[in-house]
Amino acid sequence: MISAGAKAVYGYDPAGGREIWRLSHRDHSSSARPVFGRGLAYIMTGFSRSELLAIRLGARGQLNDSHIAWSTRQSVPRMPSPLLVDDLLFTISDSGVATCMDAATGSQFWRENIRGDYAASPIYADGRIYCFSNDGRTTVLAAARNYKLLATNKLASGFMASPATSKNALILRTKTHLYKIQAP
């Protein structure tokens, strides 16, 4: 189990809660959910000068910089969590910059300003990434190495909460309403 906290990120044994490893960093108040895949944990460090760290897993005890596969400070979100889709890592910054990176190396495939302020985390479904802005706009992007805007939609009030899914339904909570959008 991976937990991002103030000044450090931790790896725990989920069966007993014992700390396995810890990596200290300089930031605080991390709110983005860590993601894991391909032997790496992807962590946003927090609110001051957020950094995205790709941490190599497998070690025990206090980790150091040698355990960081790659890192970036460019357009790193403080609130929205990253998305790992196959070998691609997607982020949406708080200020609306969407980025697609090689999950193994951190190399950017594309970076586009889709405009708006974001707190909700993006979600992935059926080859698409859905991004939900604070003003109620949903931007749909292709989950691909090449940038492709597929659609934009607008609801009456903005998103602060991340959406949820249930089978073939999308559950959206805006500032004033709860929506269930379901395919037939």
Residue 132: DSSP 8-state: E
* Count of structural domains within the chain: 2
Task: Choose one of 30, 57, 73: the last residue of a domain.
Answer: 73
What the block records as the tokens of 101 is 């990176």
Do 88 and 100 share a domain, yes or no? yes
Do 97 and 62 share a domain, yes or no? no
User: Exposed, middle or buried, 151 (CB in 10 Å: 0-12/13-18/19+)?
Assistant: exposed
Task: Choose one of 24, 42, 73: the last residue of a domain.
Answer: 73
Residue 173 in any domain: the answer is: no
Nearest to 67 by CA among 24, 19, 29, 18: 24
Nearest to 76 by CA among 40, 123, 108: 108
Range of the domain at 127: 75-159
Residue-level pLDDT, tens digit, the chain, 184 residues: 888 877 888 899 999 999 999 988 776 666 788 899 989 999 988 777 788 999 998 889 999 889 999 999 998 888 899 999 999 999 999 999 999 999 999 999 999 999 999 999 999 988 999 999 999 999 999 999 999 999 999 988 888 888 888 888 889 988 888 989 887 7
Do 30 and 86 share a domain, yes or no? no
Do 69 and 95 share a domain, yes or no? no
Do 84 and 104 share a domain, yes or no? yes
The per-residue pLDDT for 47 is 73
CB 42 within 8 A of CB 84: yes
The per-residue pLDDT for 111 is 97
Do 25 and 69 share a domain, yes or no? yes
Q: What is the pTM of this model?
A: 0.90
Q: For position 6, which CATH number holds?
A: 2.40.10.480
Do 8 and 29 share a domain, yes or no? yes
Residue 153 in any domain: the answer is: yes
Residue 31 in any domain: the answer is: yes
Do 58 and 80 share a domain, yes or no? no
